[in-house]
Structure formats: C-alpha cells, structure tokens
Amino acid sequence: MPPVDVLIQRLDPELPLPSYAHPGDAGADIVTAEDVELAPGERALVGTGIAIALPDGYAAFVHPRSGLAARFGLTVVNAPGTVDAGYRGEIKVILLNTDAKETVRLSRGDRIAQLVIQKVEKAVFHEAGRLPGSARGAGGHGSTGGFTGS
Ligand SMILES: O=c1ccn([C@H]2C[C@H](O)[C@@H](COP(=O)(O)OP(=O)(O)OP(=O)(O)O)O2)c(=O)[nH]1
Ligand SMILES: [Mg+2]
C-alpha cells in the first residue's frame, strides 16, 4: 500500500518530525517538547511540537512505547489517544508514571510515544428496538472465563 501524505507543521523548529524506526513499523515516534519529571502515580499533558492535517477518513492514534512501559512503567493515560482529521492544534500526550517507587525523568527531544495513522469508518446509527441475535449475545467482561487470579 502506498503511504498516505500528511501535512505537518513544526511548532518548534528544533524538534524532529515523527519518524518510523524501521520501514515496516506501524508507529512513528514522537518526542516531548519539554523536560518532564513524573513522580510515581503522576501524569502530565506533554506537548510534542507538531501539528498535522490528516486527510478526511483518517485519524492518528497516540500509543505508548513498549520499551518505556516495560522499563519505567510509563504509559499514555488515554491510550490510544485519538487525533481527529480536523484537529490543527499541537499533538499532546497524556503521560502517566505507573511505577510505585521511581520518578521518571524525560528530556526535551526524547521519544515518548508513537503515532499510528489509520483509516477510520464513519457510522450512521440506526436506532432499533431489538438487535439481531448472535453467538455471544450479551456475554462479556470475562464471560468466557480463563482467569487464574483470585
Ligand atoms: O492523546 C491525544 C488525544 C487528543 N488530542 C487532541 C486531538 C483531538 O482531535 C483532540 C480532541 O481529543 P478527544 O476527542 O479525545 O478529547 P475530548 O476530551 O473529547 O475533547 P474535545 O471536546 O475537544 O473533543 O485533542 C491529542 O493531541 N492527544
Ligand atoms: Mg472529543
């Protein structure tokens, strides 16, 4: 599939554009525009220094980076954050330090999250008094079991 063209504005000329670490990657890494210090359990809304204009029918999703999650417990509170095609403001990341003990320190320019660009469908919602049956029915939230914890 050919890549989709996305207009991007650098709000901070010194910071890099999003970049794919490898050709086959789904996520393009984005950086923090500021130094950030997060105490255990603390969250922060962090600027990335970029704004984009996605074509209609696309959205960008802000995902955590697994390395930061595994090493420091750093995640994105609203993962994946949704950047609408019509949004022209700075892309921001809502970081959360989930670690119980250690403070997370990030420097301006550090890669903190990744943007996944996807096509999205628009739905037309048709109200119905009854829904068609299905094999799952209303079962959810653990209805198939498989838990070993107590
Ligand atoms: O992780 C995120 C999530 C959202 N946004 C921006 C782009 C998005 O288009 C806009 C609104 O996001 P969302 O709809 O998730 O937030 P909301 O709380 O519903 O705000 P609004 O009332 O502005 O829609 O905020 C980000 O920069 N980063
Ligand atoms: Mg919204």
Cα-to-centroid distance, 80 and ligand 1 (Å)? 11
Q: What are the start-end ranges of the H helices in 14-141?
A: 66-72
Q: What is the pLDDT along the chain (150 residues), one digit of tens a residue?
A: 889 999 999 999 999 999 999 999 999 999 999 999 999 999 999 999 999 999 999 999 999 999 999 999 999 999 999 999 999 999 999 999 999 999 999 999 999 999 999 999 999 999 999 999 999 999 999 999 988 887
> So where are the chain's domains?
7-119
Sequence-separated (6 or more) residues with CB below 8 Å from residue 70:
none
Cα-to-centroid distance, 141 and ligand 2 (Å)? 25
Q: Give the residue, out of 30, 46, 78, 84, with the most ligand 1 atoms within 8 A of its beta carbon, to mutate for a pocket test.
A: 84
Please report the sign of the dihedral spanned by the C-alpha atoms of residue 21, residue 25, residue 31, residue 37. negative
Query: What's the CATH superfamily of 7-119?
Result: Deoxyuridine triphosphatase (dUTPase) (2.70.40.10)
101 in the Ramachandran plot: left (φ > 0), alpha (ψ -120 to 50) or beta? alpha
pLDDT at 147: 82
pLDDT at 1: 80
Measured CA to CA, the distance from residue 29 to residue 26 in angstroms comes to 10
pLDDT at 150: 73
pTM to 2 decimal places: 0.96
